[in-house]
Structure 1
Amino acid sequence: MHAAAVVDDKLYIAGGSRNGRYISDVKVLDLGSLAWSAVKLNVEPNADKVEDSSTREKLPASSGHSMIKWENKLLLIAGHSKNVSDSVTVRFIDLESHQCGVVETSGKVPVARGGQSVTLFGSKVIMFGGEDRGRRLLNDVHVLDLETMTWNVVETTQTPPAPRFDHTAAVHAQRYLLIFGGCSHSLFFNDLHVLDLETHAAAVVDDKLYIAGGSRNGRYISDVKVLDLGSLAWSAVKLNVEPNADKVEDSSTREKLPASSGHSMIKWENKLLLIAGHSKNVSDSVTVRFIDLESHQCGVVETSGKVPVARGGQSVTLFGSKVIMFGGEDRGRRLLNDVHVLDLETMTWNVVETTQTPPAPRFDHTAAVHAQRYLLIFGGCSHSLFFNDLHVLDLETMEWSQPEIKGDLVTSRAGHAGVTIDENWYIVGGGDNKSGATETLMLNMSKLALSVLTSIKGRDPLASEGLSVCSALVESENILVAFGGYNGKYNNEVFVMRPKPRDSAQPKIFQSPAAAAAAASVTAAYALTKSEKLDFTHLEDSNPKLVQVNSFQRDLSAEINAIREEKKVLESSLAEVKSENSDLMAKIDETKNTYAELSKELQSVQGQLVAERSRCAKLEAQISELQKTLESMPSIEQEVQLLRRQKSALERDMERAAPVQRQSSGGVWRWIGG
């Protein structure tokens, strides 16, 4: 595929392919005379300063590139060629001198690709999609500022187009980017997609981190807190019950937001969706709740289909306009490893039937989607085991696999959190109920290479189970924001990690001992970076450390504000302690009442024991008499035997005397008869 551009009634054609071979020539068609001519290109005089030996040819033979006119030059962007490069290359052709060379770009340079679309938008170029050197399809959006030649990644919302290449794009009304057609490796498209270039948002909702629910000291929490990542100030969200909540909720679920834990939260359209989780409200199936980000109304979303059994500790991952839920633990503590999909457009649940060997049933794991095709599951635990394995579900074939992970060996963990930025999956915290996981991990999802970014102390708040992490775009840089967790005590500290732009293996972490101190520290850190022009890409420290910026020494007003905020935090903690003390006093009173009742029962039992003791004494006397009787039994037996012998002797004497009597009596009768 060649590239074309019209300049001053002339059509320029650059590169392309024919019979499987790349072409490097540049042809010009004069639209007035309709005559073709060739452009003889010259290597830029200082090309040896901007290009290495592998890219100093006049114009590499290439295909699948894009071409636009900027000022007095033609810019050739991306494309496939025999010159192997990991990132997108921008080349130029000077329309006057016909010199050519490479334009040096900076920022977040996209991965090398071909078949993308490139559209001029003011002084910027918008690049969408394409196919990388490994034939992986893309649907990412990048912007090149032509004045500074700096690349940036655009984080978009809603459902993007399916990954594709060889499509077309155009900008309408200086606001809308239109994408039409294209193909994947097996499908051709005729769809139209529109990206509003004014309203696209970062991964965090309007640069705000939303924290909803959780648990502490065995009690569920129902509040919603918001951290403004610009000012780093906390605020509470006052929720309103949906006006028609009586139509969609029964009396047991009409509270503003049930206290819950183990739930998952995602952003969809202008709402936050809270999915599943454990609470005191008993339900047999998964409940989906919503919080409207504009009106702060909340309620229950009615879902249909094959609604999954209620659970907590599951993973919930956004995949286009669908949510994929895996695993968890139900109310009966039964571990699960099933896969369910919720269609967010129809709010319909479906069960996914998978093949091959699935992961062992587990909960408190993490999940991520890579390349809009693969669902990755990492870690988690059962009731007796903790895992550090990686499982992959192909969302096209629905086949499970367990690939081999390259790189560092890591400890097993559960209760950790993860977030993806481009091809990297950052995994923070977790533990095994004995100790916290001290390594912050990065998994390159394309290469399946796992590396340890940084290690911290075992009792550090970041080495906690049950923390949350998300990504945000601050001053055109991606940062990670971690909050909360439990590692022997409950934490409310905020941690910010800024991976290096070119060396993500050496990030910097800004820590705050409390939310207010975090605000001052991170703000001062960014101010310091901006004022002194620190370049984190040149730091050579292979063991990144936690950096605490002491704002009290920099600005007296910042110190006062920090103290005031800390005072508010302490007052809030004091109120919470007082509330807990009040609960404890109530429990003590209840215990005293129980003790009094037990004392009365004890006295009654003691009286019964006295009566039983008297009865036992009588029984013991009777037993003693019986024992004496039993002791005299041998003499009685001897007497019985003697009597038996006497009886036997008497019976023998009587038997001897009987014949004599008969003889004497017979003689008398004979005498009388005779």
Structure 2
Amino acid sequence: MDPAFERHCSELVARERSGHTAVVLDSLLYVWGGYMSIADEEVFIPSDEIWVYDLEGGIWQVFHMSGEVPPSMSGTCGSSLGGNMYIFGGCDDGGQTNQMFCVDLTDGRYVWKKIIPLCGSAPSHRDKLSCWVYNGKLIYFGGYGHKVLADITSRSRNFIPDETSWVDDLFWGWNNEVHVFDPVKGSWAEPQTHGRPPAPRAAHAGATLGRRGYVCGGRVMETRTNDLHSLDLESWTWTEIVPSSAAPVGRSWHSVTAVSESTMFLFGGLSVDCRPMSDGWLFDVETKKWREFEHPYQDKPRLWHTACGGRDSDVVVFGGSCDYILLVDTGHCNDALVFQMQPHPLFRICEDYIAKNVRTLERLRKQLPLLPPKLLKALQRRISFYRPSKKQSNN
């Protein structure tokens, strides 16, 4: 790699932000939207740009987006399905929205398309909701938004009004609704669920393991909870999970990520007493036990960040805030924290050893040209990650 280009790449880093969307596809982290603070003002990140981080090479790039570009916003719910990134809901300058957009991440063009449903009705306006991806469908749960009074009285068990926020017959509040979008049919549906659902909430965390979608914590009125629920995505039956061990404290604006067929990883958030958190926990859905997870980022609290599953069950956390953003909204971050959740395969251990030491071991440098072209290209990409000029530290 050209040294001048290498220095330029090492200095290009995505804007700091919170309330954004991020997905991982083919060892690339795609980051869109959210907001940052400039001179004590909250400013949305431009919606016509997408930042791409090469998790193997450690290089950021930014691309212009075209097409039916969504408004700049935060709190939208993003997910990856079939090479596309879908976003639904969120909050823009006009308040919460119920629009849906998608962009193909595989063709390098980054053209937005607005989704107009062919049948069914989109959920009401909301943000800070979650999504499970299952069987080719996008399944949304909860969030904070507004409804008209007639809808609240007829669906009172699914919506808790925020008594401090209402205008005429329009009320804001928390919901526990389940809505399903089928991208193939272009249809919305609201399945009839069974069992006792979680209380309405927003700023919670969700993950999909097998045929179940999990909901963890979140804000319910003035309370931040630590409860755990699962929804069978075939029978639509809710189950509350009572842990057989001590559980993390209640929180909102945290993340939960599936790291195996039976385990999910919780990180960060805002605690019941409004402290930004940096703790990590593993939950085993078979034993129903929480276990605190030691990691090297105890000094990096995060809330309203994103967390994505990466290579070899790594979890990639990007952005978020290290402050209680409702009081001091200046602590937005732009670093990528990579959590190793299990021992890496031997090939990756060897690859990283070479990448870390090739600059100091002459024998390795001489042997590199003897490698097969495909392997050499992969190694050169990884060597770039450990380049000495790199200013941002990523594990």
TM-score, normalised via structure 2 length: 0.69
Q: Which of 335, 347, 358 lines up with 2:174 in the alignment?
A: 335
Residue 445 of structure 1 aligns with which residue?
285
Deviation at 1:371, TM superposition (A): 2.3
Aligned AA for 1:490? H
Q: For 1:114-138, what per-residue CA distance to the aligned partner results, in whole angstroms no more than 9, with x for missing partners?
A: xxxxxxxxxxxxxxxxxxxxxxxxx
CA deviation after TM superposition for structure 1 residue 448, in Å:
1.9
Please name the residue that 1:394 is paired with.
232
Tell me if 1:289 matches 2:129. no
1:278 aligns with 2:72: no
Does residue 425 of the first structure (1) align with residue 264 of the second (2)? yes
Alpha carbons of 1:296 and 1:397: their partners in 2 closer, same or farther (altered >3 Å)?
closer
Residue in 2 that maps onto 1:74: none
Question: Secondary structure at the residue paired with 1:562?
Answer: coil
Query: Do residues 220 (structure 1) and 49 (structure 2) align?
Result: no
SS in 2 for 1:261: coil
> CA RMSD, aligned part only?
3.0
Distance 1:393 1:500, change over 3 A: closer
Q: Structure 1: any 5+ residue segments left out of the alignment? A: 1-202, 242-253, 503-521, 533-553, 567-674
Does the 8 Å CA contact 2:256/2:265 hold for their aligned counterparts? yes
Equivalent of 1:346 in 152, 169, 185: 185
Shift of 1:523: 6.6
Bigger proportion of residues as helix: 1
The CA deviation string for residues 200-219 of structure 1, in whole angstroms up to 9 with x for no partner, is xxx83121001110122333
Distance in 2 between residues matched to 1:482 and 1:396, nearest whole Å: 30
Residue 493 to residue 457, structure 1, CA distance change in 2 (3 Å): closer
Q: Which residue of 2 aligns with 1:298?
A: 112
Query: Structure 1 or 2: larger strand share?
Result: 2
SS at match of 1:405: coil
8 A contact 2:77–2:90 mirrored in 1: yes
Structure 1 residue 443: Cα displacement: 1.1
Larger Rg computed on CA atoms: 1
Amino acid corresponding to residue 116 of structure 2 in structure 1 = E
* Native 8 Å contact 1:411 1:437 kept in 2: no
Letter aligned with residue 407 of structure 1: S
Please report how far the alpha carbon of residue 268 of structure 1 lies from its aligned counterpart in structure 2 after TM superposition.
2.1
Q: Which residues in structure 2 correspond to 1:153-552 (within 5 Å)? A: 204-217=24-37, 218-221=42-45, 222=47, 223-241=49-67, 254=68, 256-281=69-94, 286-293=98-105, 294=107, 295-303=109-117, 304-331=119-146, 332-372=171-211, 374-422=212-260, 423-432=262-271, 434-454=274-294, 460-461=299-300, 463-473=301-311, 477-488=312-323, 489-501=331-343, 527=356
- Write the distance in 2 (CA, Å) between the matches of 1:271 and 1:492: 24
Give the share of equivalent positions with the same residue, in percent.
22
Amino acid at match of 1:209: L
Asked whether the 8 Å contact 1:288–1:301 carries over to 2, the reply is yes
SS at match of 2:290: strand
Q: Kindly tell me: are residues 465 and 333 of structure 1, through their superposed partners in 2, closer, same or farther at Cα, counting changes over 3 Å?
A: farther
SS of residue in 1 equivalent to 2:222: coil
Quote the residue 1:584 is aligned against.
none
* AA partner of residue 177 (structure 2): D
Query: SS of the counterpart of 1:452?
Result: strand
**Cα distance in structure 1, aligned partners of 2:305 and 2:354:** 23
Change (3 A) 1:523 1:457: closer
- How far the C-alpha of 1:524 sits from its partner, in A, is 7.7
Higher relative contact order at CA 8 Å, sep ≥6: structure 1 or structure 2? 2
| Residues 81, 133 of structure 2: 8 Å contact kept | no
Cα offset, 1:421, TM superposition: 2.2
Question: Per the alignment, in what secondary structure is the counterpart of residue 241 of structure 2?
Answer: coil
Indicate the SS of the match to 1:527: helix
The alpha-carbon deviation at position 387 of structure 1 amounts to: 0.6
Q: Conserved in 2, the CA contact under 8 Å of 1:438 and 1:456?
A: no
Indicate if the aligned counterparts of 2:270 and 2:277 stay in contact, CA closer than 8 A. Answer: yes
Shift of 1:310: 1.2
**Secondary structure class of the residue paired with 2:29:** strand
1:360 aligned counterpart, secondary structure: coil
Supply the distance in 2 between the matched residues of 1:500 and 1:417 (Cα, whole angstroms): 18
Contact 1:270–1:292, Cα closer than 8 Å, also in 2: yes
AA at the equivalent of 1:299: K
Distance in 1 (CA, whole Å) between partners of 2:318 and 2:274 is 21
The DSSP-based 3-state class of the residue aligned with 1:437 is strand
> What SS does structure 2 have at the residue aligned with 1:441?
strand
Secondary structure, counterpart of 2:274 in structure 1: coil
2:356 alignment partner, SS class: helix
Deviations 1:647-671 (A, max 9, x none): xxxxxxxxxxxxxxxxxxxxxxxxx
What do residues 178-216 of structure 1 show as CA deviations (whole Å, max 9, x unaligned)?
xxxxxxxxxxxxxxxxxxxxxxxxx83121001110122
Residues 1:562 and 2:382 are matched in the alignment? no
The 3 A distance-change label for structure 1 pair 411 and 282 is: closer
> What does residue 369 of structure 2 align with?
none
Residues 439 and 456, structure 1, Cα contact 8 Å, conserved in 2: no
Distance 2:355 2:267 in 1: 22
On the 8 A contact 2:120/2:189 being kept in 1, the answer is: yes
| 1:359/1:526 CA distance change after superposition, 3 Å | farther
In 1, Cα distance between equivalents of 2:93 and 2:217: 28
What does residue range 647-666 of structure 1 map to in structure 2 within 5 Å? none
Paired with 2:317 and 2:241, the residues of 1 have a C-alpha distance of 28
Q: Deviations over 1:593-615 (max 9, x none)?
A: xxxxxxxxxxxxxxxxxxxxxxx
Across the two proteins, how many residue pairs are aligned to each other? 300
Cα drift, residue 402 of structure 1: 1.2
Shift of 1:446: 2.4
Which letter maps to 2:315? L
Unmatched tracts of structure 2, length 5 or more? 1-22, 147-170, 324-330, 345-350, 362-382
Cα shift at 1:501: 2.8
